[in-house]
Amino acid sequence: MTSTLPTRPVPVPPRTWSAVLFDLDGTIVDSEAEITRSLAHTFASMGVPVPDAETLRSYVGPPLLDSLRMTAGFTDADAWEALNVYRDHYDVHLLSSPVFPGVAGVLERLHAAGVPLALATSKPESMAREVLEHNDLAKYFTVIAGASEDEERSTKADVVREALARLRALGIDTADAVMVGDRGYDTLGALANDVPTIMVEWGYGSPAEAGDAYAVVHSADQLRGLLLG
């Protein structure tokens, strides 16, 4: 299901970005069905009622361990148990998520233009890399940063910070970097690192999450125009 975010006019002329950071779920791949199916399995396995579809959808994007604690109300121990149940189930379906139409072309064009790309996702980094490699997209990314397996690095702010640090370690200028994402978590995490965010309408965000975004785009063509001119 696609949300309807209020589209803002694309700035003219577009800015020249020194690097572009991308979210994964809801931005590059449409993973909602696989994630919510694994969440439903997790809740059932933990012996608690399975939330409705809208609530399950709200788990897509934010760090899952935090959501299991704060939204589901699990204790720390139960949240870790649930996270492991989820990962075991989701790992089987990990590669079923399709790439959103037009996004691969945007990544290809950015790469061909010499714009450094970084992935910044709250999904475990090993899983994120596997998804990109399966879809033949890893070749476009200079840096692939995600949550650490122990969840010590899991918030979007921490992941964006890590992605920027890895880019800088390679001598890449990040002074005019931009984040591309679909949730308010992407915007807030990027802003914590002084990075503006372009929000995409085809993801899982709501209109209320677009308030702090630099711009909102409704199509891959519009995103390409904003990033490349």
Query: pLDDT tens-digit profile of 129-163?
Result: 999 999 999 999 999 999 998 888 889 999 999 99
Peptide bond preceding 14 in cis form (omega within 30 of 0): no
Question: Treating both helix axes as pointing N-terminal to C-terminal, what angle do 32-45 and 76-93 enclose, rounded to 10 degrees?
Answer: 130
Q: Which residues contact 143 (CB under 8 A, 6 or more apart)?
A: 116, 117, 118, 119, 163, 166, 167, 170
Active site residues: 23
Q: What is the pTM of this model?
A: 0.89
DSSP class per residue in 117-130: EEEEEEEEHHHHHH
Query: pLDDT tens-digit profile of 44-103?
Result: 999 999 999 999 998 988 889 989 999 999 999 999 999 999 999 999 999 999 999 999
Annotation: CATH topology of 19-30+98-228: Rossmann fold (3.40.50)
Domain borders along the chain are 19-30+98-228, 32-96
- For domain 32-96, give its CATH number from 3.40.50.720, 3.40.630.30, 3.20.20.70, 1.10.150.240: 1.10.150.240
Q: How far apart are CA 212 and CA 160, in angstroms?
A: 17
Half-sphere exposure at residue 80, Cβ-oriented, CA atoms within 13 angstroms:
6
143 closest CA partner among 17, 29, 19: 19
Q: How far apart are CA 194 and CA 191, in angstroms?
A: 5
Least confident segment among 53-62, 178-187, 214-223: 53-62
Q: In what order do the strands lie in the sheet with 19-22?
A: 143-147, 117-124, 19-22, 177-181, 197-200, 215-217
